[in-house]
Amino acid sequence: MKILFATSNPNKAKEIAALLPESFELLTLNDINVTEEIPETQNTLDGNAKQKSEYILTNFQLDCFADDTGLEIPALNNEPGVKSARYAGEQRDSEANMQLVLDRLKDKEDRSARFRTVISLELNGEQHLFEGIVNGSIREGKVGDGGFGYDPIFEPENCGKTFGEMSMNEKNRYSHRARAFAKMIAFLSE
């Protein structure tokens, strides 16, 4: 079964491809020559995931899935949340985003955080949502150079190292995206 992931982010595509059972073939927007940026104008992760999958269905008549992910930090009123990719500005600079989080947490005792992913699947005229959450904390500085986004500052609970210190396979044992994706694959396999 071919399945279209409505993303042009190669890091997300690699993570998902590593989780895919052999009976599935993953396609991305690059594979179908979609180069335009899909709108993400909603104020929730659910809303953005739905908006992206609906955009592909409406404009290209293709079943697909899309995700949106946010880092939620209680001490920062659950920021950056839905604005995680653009926390430090529209340029989507991961280094600037991480530094802004670290600066804003500088005098906070509570460094708890969670990553949350919502996947919207458009299949046979129906929409399905799947959520994955991983709880953890924000380190006081960057550790590791693997992964992407906030990975070098986020440490999952009971793990002892950041996502940035993990291989992709190791990260996929803990990650929010892997948890949401596993729910979707279980649904598709039924």
Q: What is the percent of the chain with per-residue pLDDT over 70, rounded to a whole number?
A: 100
Q: Is 68 an active-site residue?
A: yes
- Residue 37: DSSP 8-state: P
The pLDDT of residue 138 is above 90: yes
CA pair distance 36, 1, nearest whole angstrom: 25
Quick check: bond before 80 cis, omega within 30?
Answer: yes
| Statement: residue 12 has pLDDT above 90 | no
Q: Which of 46, 68, 103, 107 is catalytic?
A: 68
Residue 106: pLDDT band (50, 70, 90) is very high
Where does the pLDDT of residue 110 fall: very low under 50, low under 70, confident under 90, or very high at 90 and above?
very high
The phi and psi torsions of 128 (rounded to 5 degrees) equal -130, 140
pLDDT, average across residues 122-144: 96
* Prediction pTM value: 0.91
What residue segments make up the domains of the chain, in order of their start? 2-189
Mean pLDDT calculated for residue range 99-128 = 96
- Residue ranges in 28-71 assigned as alpha helix (H): 45-60
Q: How many residues does the chain have?
A: 190
DSSP E strands: which ranges in the chain? Answer: 2-5, 25-28, 64-73, 79-81, 112-123, 126-138, 154-156
The architecture (CATH level 2) of 2-189 comes to Alpha-Beta Complex (3.90)
